[in-house]
Amino acid sequence: MLDIFFTNEQFTTDLNLYHCGIEPCKPGHSYGPAVRDHYLFHYILSGKGSFFVNNQHYALQQGQGFLIYPELITYYEADQVDPWHYVWVGFNGLKVETYLEAAGFSRENPILTQRTGINIDRHLLTLVHTAEEYNNTRYNYGKTLHLQGLLYITISEMIENAGPHRTALANGDLQDVYIRKALEFIKTNYSRPINIKMIAASLGLSRSYLTVLFKNRLQIGPQDYLIQFRMERACDFLRNPLLSIGDVARSVGYSDPLAFSKIFKKVKGLSPSQYRQNHQQAQKGKE
């Protein structure tokens, strides 16, 4: 068995190569049940085996591959008579989900079958053999980028393998992924002084394109969405009498309480103090 691991200090965040390897398995060789913290793709060069995930059993053979998603319990086992010989690559990154969805993968469909004329196996073997060669020498930034480039090529071949129909749908699917990632970014970072340029940059998009996506998919611009999200969270915080208006302002990303109060009144129709007073009166009325 060959299994090569990498450090990620010099890797970009869009796509990080963790490890890769190759193994001619013995009959019945198994792994798991186990949970990974990254994506792990196996491609079967020869032989057969079984892959179990989400109460599903997949009987696989040469020319097929299976993708293990992070945080899912999986188990796989080589056939007793014709055990598989596979090559694998482990990776992660901010744009991995985008790439994999374009390649037709999902948690409901983690299986790939290589089409005629596609060379996922060849690109994977090139990646592993190059990594093996570099593993016997001192790594440098150029070698790191070379291996990263080989991983990009491999995933691009997976996307080509998805076929013309899938490729035609991929743009719409990618737009949904971008929107979901943008909303996650806002939910995670709304308390910080973020802006639309920062959100777009986190996705590798221009501000103008992100604005078009929001308006097409959500019928609202990203700036207005961010403001509304912050104001809704501000309402939650204002219900807590222990927090001052300044505390609430800082909690939703505004260093200036006056600027926060102006925006809150514009969105909600009343000042933060009036909103708090109305809430307190409503609570007393329930007592």
The dihedral formed by the CA atoms of 19, 160, 104 and 45, expressed in degrees to the nearest 10: -50
Distance between CA 264 and CA 84 in Å, rounded? 62
Q: The domain spanning residue 190 has which CATH number?
A: 1.10.10.60
Is residue 257 domain-shared with residue 125, that is, in the same domain? Answer: no
Distance between CA 70 and CA 42 in Å, rounded? 14
Is residue 17 domain-shared with residue 142, that is, in the same domain? Answer: yes
Give the chain's domain count. 2
Is residue 112 domain-shared with residue 15, that is, in the same domain? Answer: yes
Which of 146, 161, 176 is the last residue in one of the domains?
A: 161
Q: The domain spanning residue 31 has which CATH number?
A: 2.60.120.280
Is residue 175 domain-shared with residue 275, that is, in the same domain? Answer: yes
- pTM of the model as a whole: 0.59
Distance between CA 86 and CA 131 in Å, rounded? 16
Which of 126, 161, 196 is the last residue in one of the domains?
A: 161
Is residue 30 domain-shared with residue 137, that is, in the same domain? Answer: yes
C-alpha count within 13 angstroms, C-beta hemisphere, residue 15: 22
Is residue 126 domain-shared with residue 137, that is, in the same domain? Answer: yes
Which pLDDT tens digit goes with each residue over 212-254? 999 988 899 999 999 999 999 999 999 999 999 999 999 999 9
pLDDT at 11: 43
Judge contact between 76 and 30, C-beta under 8 A: yes
On the question of a cis peptide bond just before residue 33, with omega within 30 degrees of 0, the verdict is: yes
Is residue 240 domain-shared with residue 259, that is, in the same domain? Answer: yes
Which of 161, 193, 225 is the last residue in one of the domains?
A: 161
pLDDT at 172: 54
Domain that holds residue 224: 164-287
Is residue 186 domain-shared with residue 145, that is, in the same domain? Answer: no
Is residue 101 domain-shared with residue 189, that is, in the same domain? Answer: no
pLDDT at 46: 96
Is residue 29 domain-shared with residue 141, that is, in the same domain? Answer: yes
Is residue 189 domain-shared with residue 255, that is, in the same domain? Answer: yes
Sign of the CA dihedral with 199 first, then 201, 207, and 211 last: negative
Which pLDDT tens digit goes with each residue over 128-155? 999 888 777 766 677 778 888 999 999 9
pLDDT at 282: 83
Is residue 248 domain-shared with residue 190, that is, in the same domain? Answer: yes
Judge contact between 46 and 84, C-beta under 8 A: yes
Which stretches in the chain have pLDDT values below 70? 1-13, 138-140, 163-173, 286-287
